[in-house]
Structure 1
Amino acid sequence: MSFKRFQSSDCSTSTPVKASVQRYLKSSLVESNPLLAPHIDSLIPKKPPLTAYKVTSFLTLYTLNSLPILFETRDGPVLPTLRFVHQYPTLFTSCRVDSGAIPFILGGANIMCPGLVNPGSELNEDYEIGQSVVVYAEGKEHALAVGHLKMGAKEIKEVNKGMGCEVAHFIGDGLFETKSIE
């Protein structure tokens, strides 16, 4: 799942998000990003409500005042968009990849285990399989991708091969280039 070729015209139907769904989205986001807890109600207020856009049968994009802020796949976690992350960079669960992984990630590739283990990278030992993460790069100030771990941190360090993180959204993809959805 990637937004590599996404355009705002790919969104088919839009509906206001019910209060119960909005509570679920907030709790899911806080569960994977505990530092958001004291700020979540001001970041995602009740009024105006979020709007849900169906992108595909398994992908939903959520906007606040026409700005994409969250997305969710049918079987995946609720993830923030990079523009939302860049507004509040210290509040999200993150990892750091080594500088060698940067061109691959910006090309739309997933992150392989060595990119999360090599010198210059950083991965919290407590992260479990499925953990959503904002990906930073060695020597860079801003996040360059959002995704979720395909293995737990301990397994990534032990195995050190294969896909460690599935990238869902990265700088330069269609979603990042979309400023608003009308």
Structure 2
Amino acid sequence: MKKIVVKKRHSIRKSQGVDLLLRLEEQIGSSANLFRADMIEVLETNADVSLFMVAKKPLLMDTGAWVFPTLKGAVQVPFPERRVTVDAGAIPYVVNGADIMRPGIVAVTDDVKAGCPVQIVDERHGKPLAIGIALFDAPDMRASTAGKMVKKFHHVGDEIWNMEI
């Protein structure tokens, strides 16, 4: 992907903010309340994803199909939902943008659904390393022994992470 350039930024109406948080609640449940703010701004960019500034930080992204915290959002406002935990051996690959393979996964929360966003976290500290799209539901992921389980969407050092505002 090319470098993301912010063309405009403006605050959204309260009703739009409520809709945004309702869509976020569909993904992460009551933890969506952690992202409430008096002012939410939308960034108009050249990317396929819409980015939202909460408290002047790019904490949320909207693809049209779903709303989910950005990686910075997951780091700054930790939430327990939608987690795929990987072992220490997978960390260097994940932070460099690799998809998540089954041998590196040590735990999956029950709310992981195929086609929905998840946060990939490290086993030791529980710190988010990337945001991905689950390719299988949680039970199928646990039952599997090999193959790709999560497609990478956003990781440390990518264009969303390095975006200058």
TM range (shorter): 0.7 to 0.9
Matches within 5 A, 1:78-93: 78-93=67-82
Deviation digits for residues 74-116 of structure 1 (CA, Å, limit 9, x no counterpart): 33x2121222222232444322012221111111112123322
Any gaps of 5 or more consecutive residues in structure 2? none
Over the residues paired in the alignment, what is the CA RMSD in angstroms? Answer: 2.5
Structure 1 gap segments, 5+ residues each: none
Matching residue of 2:132: 147
CA distance in 2, matches of 1:162, 1:36: 31
Instruction: Give me the whole-angstrom Cα distance separating, in 1, the residues matched to 2:80 and 2:128.
Output: 12
Is 1:133 aligned with 2:118? yes
Task: State the SS of the aligned residue for 1:58.
Answer: coil
Q: Which amino acid aligns with 1:62?
A: F
Q: Is the 8 A contact 2:49 2:63 kept in 1?
A: yes
Q: Which amino acid aligns with 1:83?
A: K
Aligned partner of 1:70 among 35, 60, 70:
60
Shift in Å, 1:141: 4.2
Q: Kindly indicate whether residue 159 of structure 2 is the aligned counterpart of residue 174 of structure 1.
A: yes
- Alignment: residue pair count: 165
Identity rate of aligned residues, in percent? 24
Which residue is 2:36 aligned to? 44
Give the alignment's TM-score, normalised by structure 2: 0.81
TM-score (norm 1): 0.75
Equivalent residue number for residue 96 of structure 2: 107
Structure with the higher fraction of residues in helix conformation: 1
Cα contact 1:113–1:160 (8 A) shared by 2: yes
Alignment partner, residue 19 of structure 2? 24
Work out which structure has the larger RCO, using CA pairs closer than 8 Å and 6 or more positions apart in sequence: 1
List per-residue Cα deviations over 1:136-176 (Å, max 9, x = no partner). 11223421112221211222233444331122222233333
